[in-house]
Copies of this chain bind each other. A is one copy, B any other.
């Protein structure tokens, strides 16, 4: 008879409220907590209460809160990349990756704001790096360039996604006030002291929109140009 894997062998004693804890249940609950009540709602005490266990029980599963945070971040990465398959067109595939990451962050705006700049060192991040670097290698970049360019790409994607997520996490009134600023406050600039702003006055409303797609497309343009410089004729 096959012995079960060690991590499945672990005994899971139910808590006082009858729940059986697991890493998965904890990260899920944490994500739900953040989504419902904001990032400041995430504390070991509140998480324990939401799970129906003593706060200190969490330390049997995560070394500390940072460890928990990384697990949450990795779960978001995993969710966003579910069902993704790299196609033959590396630029289109990277673009698909970018749009997925953004969608994943927008689905959990508040968690994204906390975790977007961390290296999770976990399986899902592993796979994302593998995929992205693989695409750049397939484009013909040598390893050193593939790594550097992937980093520039993914950081742009992650940080822009975090920016979008942060905006979505703002209270509605504040977000609308920020948007109105571009179409109202900025309209009455003095042409003398601010000639450029005055000249583009009619277009400033575009500043209220997300720059995610333009920025990613500019970056992909630059990558494509670099790649075709590598192989002048294909």
Contacts and interface: CB of A to CB of B under 8 A. Distances in A.
A181 B149 contact: no
Interface string A120-134: 010000110111011
Interface in A133-173: 133-134, 137, 143-144, 146-149, 151-152, 155-156, 158-160, 162-163, 166-167
A143 B202 contact: yes
What is the count of identical protomers in the complex?
Answer: 2
Which interface class (under 10, 10 to 19, 20 to 34, 35 or more) fits A?
35 or more
Contacts of A199: 137, 143
A211 interface: yes
A151 B199 CA distance: 16
A196 B152 contact: no
Interface stretch (A26-34, A51-59, A214-222): A214-222
A214 B148 CA distance: 8
B214 A219 contact: no
Nearest to A118: B178
A221 B228 CA distance: 14
28 contacts: A116-B163, A118-B178, A119-B178, A119-B181, A121-B181, A121-B185, A126-B197, A129-B197, A130-B197, A143-B202, A143-B203, A144-B203, A144-B206, A147-B204, A147-B206, A149-B218, A151-B214, A155-B160, A155-B163, A156-B156, A159-B159, A159-B160, A162-B163, A215-B219, A218-B219, A219-B219, A221-B225, A225-B225
